[in-house]
Amino acid sequence: ATPLAILIATSKITRLGAVAKSGDIIERYSKADVFLFDKTGTITQGALKIEDIIAEDKTRLHALAASLERNSSHLIAKAITSAYQDDFLSVSDFSEIPGKGVTGVVDGQSVMVGTKVFLTESGVTLPQVPDTGHTVACVAVDGKYAGMIALSDSIKESAADVLKYLSGKGIKAVIITGDNRSAAEKLVEKLGIKGLEFVSDVTPFQKADIVKHYQKDNKICVMVGDGINDAPALTTADVGVAIGQGTDIAIESSDIVLMRDELGLLTTLHQTSVKTLRVIK
Ligand code: ADP
Ligand code: MG
């Protein structure tokens, strides 16, 4: 496309509510072969809700988890913290591992909250739990499994339409998530889009590897995400798209920022970029 065509496309896209950091990004976006989507906060609203606390002492488990999660900005952390009404316990040595969970000393006890993989890797033995399609935050106290918090999230209204649009254009769509398989499966089932693939239980760097995998044979890959956990994948993708309400690091790592939390923008951007770059020569 000519510089003028790209300039016109850029200005149209700005008016629609997205910021592209450079003009050639729009051209790449218009030629995308694959769209990769993060799940939590991207396809889903990210307003998670606690469905169940499974523990011998639910009150204590919630107090430990909420006090620790108060230091994290993860959407799971926000859900666990905001549902907690009591006084927070003292926390020291807090640390957060993106895509896995958080650890720290809470009220004198060593506490971990995160994925099954995270706890297992740290030597915690987990019980067999049935898959319910929930997002789960497993909790260990002093190196022993103490319980889990099951959370639910709802799908963004416009998600299915965008996925249908892409499928209609012959563009492949894949959801890549750090969440568990059962939660990812349930989401894909709810979306009901033919050919929609997913990869679950991945770390932030594995997300970037998946982008590289789909970039083989010179395929153009768009990654859409909102979290710290998406930053490596957003950087690796040919076009990284961040949700404007997402974390600063996601925005920094991206090429296009959606100024409204409206996935329909992805469709409009595609239509506009394809049309503008085709018509004006
Ligand atoms: P997604 O790819 O769905 O956006 P993330 O990569 O951010 O998810 O996180 C993957 C998983 O890691 C979450 O489903 C959760 O189980 C766990 N996790 C990450 N951060 C936290 C946290 N602060 N507290 C509890 N669990 C967490
Ligand atoms: Mg996310």
CATH of the domain at 68: 3.40.1110.10
The verdict on the CB of residue 229 being under 6 Å from ligand 1 is: yes
Task: Read off the tokens for 182.
Answer: 């059962």
Is residue 142 annotated as a catalytic residue, yes or no?
A: no
CA distance linking residue 146 with residue 140, whole number of Å: 5
> What pLDDT does 202 receive?
94
Domain boundary among 152, 185, 205: 152
Q: Are residues 208 and 250 both part of a single domain?
A: yes
The verdict on the CB of residue 179 being under 6 Å from ligand 1 is: yes
Query: Sign of the CA dihedral 184, 271, 16, 7?
Result: positive
Q: Are residues 185 and 270 both part of a single domain?
A: yes
The verdict on the CB of residue 40 being under 6 Å from ligand 1 is: yes
According to DSSP, the residues that pair with 220 across neighbouring strands are none
Domain boundary among 135, 152, 169: 152
Please report which ligand is nearest the Cα atom of 243.
2
Judge whether 64 and 40 are in contact, CB under 8 Å.
no
CATH of the domain at 30: 3.40.50.1000
Q: Are residues 187 and 275 both part of a single domain?
A: yes
Rounded to 10 degrees, what is the CA torsion of 43, 267, 172, 35? -60
> What pLDDT does 59 receive?
97
Domain boundary among 152, 173, 193: 152
Q: Are residues 27 and 74 both part of a single domain?
A: no
How far from chain centre, in Å, is Cα 198? 13
Q: Are residues 115 and 178 both part of a single domain?
A: no
Q: How close is the Cα of 250 to the center of ligand 1, in Å?
A: 15
Q: Are residues 273 and 160 both part of a single domain?
A: yes
Q: How close is the Cα of 18 to the center of ligand 1, in Å?
A: 27
Place of tokens 């650890």: 103
State the closest ligand 1 atom to the C-alpha of 177, by its place in the atom list counted from 1.
2
Backbone dihedral angles phi then psi of residue 194, each to the nearest 5 degrees: -65, 135
CA distance linking residue 48 with residue 263, whole number of Å: 18
Enumerate helices (H) and strands (E) in the chain, giving the number of each: 11, 13
Please report which ligand is nearest the Cα atom of 42.
2
State the closest ligand 1 atom to the C-alpha of 176, by its place in the atom list counted from 1.
2
What type of residue is 3? P
Q: Are residues 68 and 196 both part of a single domain?
A: no
Q: Which of 24, 38, 179, 230 is catalytic?
A: 38
Is the pTM higher than 0.90?
A: yes
Q: How close is the Cα of 98 to the center of ligand 1, in Å?
A: 7
Judge whether 244 and 259 are in contact, CB under 8 Å.
yes
According to DSSP, the residues that pair with 136 across neighbouring strands are 150
> What pLDDT does 279 receive?
59
Q: Are residues 159 and 270 both part of a single domain?
A: yes
Return the beta strands (E) in 184-248 as ranges.
197-199, 221-225, 239-243
Please report which ligand is nearest the Cα atom of 227.
2
State the closest ligand 1 atom to the C-alpha of 135, by its place in the atom list counted from 1.
14
Count CB-CB contacts under 10 A for residue 232.
22
Q: How close is the Cα of 109 to the center of ligand 1, in Å?
A: 22
Nearest CA-CA partner of 184 in 159, 171, 201: 201
The structural domain count of the chain equals 2
> What pLDDT does 246 receive?
80
Rounded to 10 degrees, what is the CA torsion of 210, 213, 219, 220? 20
Q: Are residues 146 and 270 both part of a single domain?
A: no
> What pLDDT does 4 receive?
86
Give the mean pLDDT per block of 10 residues along the chain (281 residues).
Answer: 83 91 89 96 95 97 98 95 96 95 98 95 91 94 97 96 96 96 95 93 96 97 94 97 89 94 95 80 47
User: Starting from the edge strand earliest in sequence, which strands make up the sheet with 221-225, in order?
Assistant: 18-20, 256-258, 239-243, 221-225, 34-37, 172-176, 197-199
| DSSP element (H, E) containing 6 | helix 3-16
Range of the domain at 251: 3-45+154-279
Judge whether 258 and 41 are in contact, CB under 8 Å.
no
Nearest CA-CA partner of 176 in 221, 122, 238: 221
Q: What is the ipTM of this complex?
A: 0.96
Which of 74, 203, 226 is the best mutation target for the ligand 1 pocket, counting ligand atoms within 8 Å of the beta carbon and taking the most? 74
CA distance linking residue 31 with residue 127, whole number of Å: 47
> What pLDDT does 131 receive?
86
> What pLDDT does 281 receive?
47
Q: How close is the Cα of 248 to the center of ligand 2, in Å?
A: 13
Q: How many residues does the chain have?
A: 281
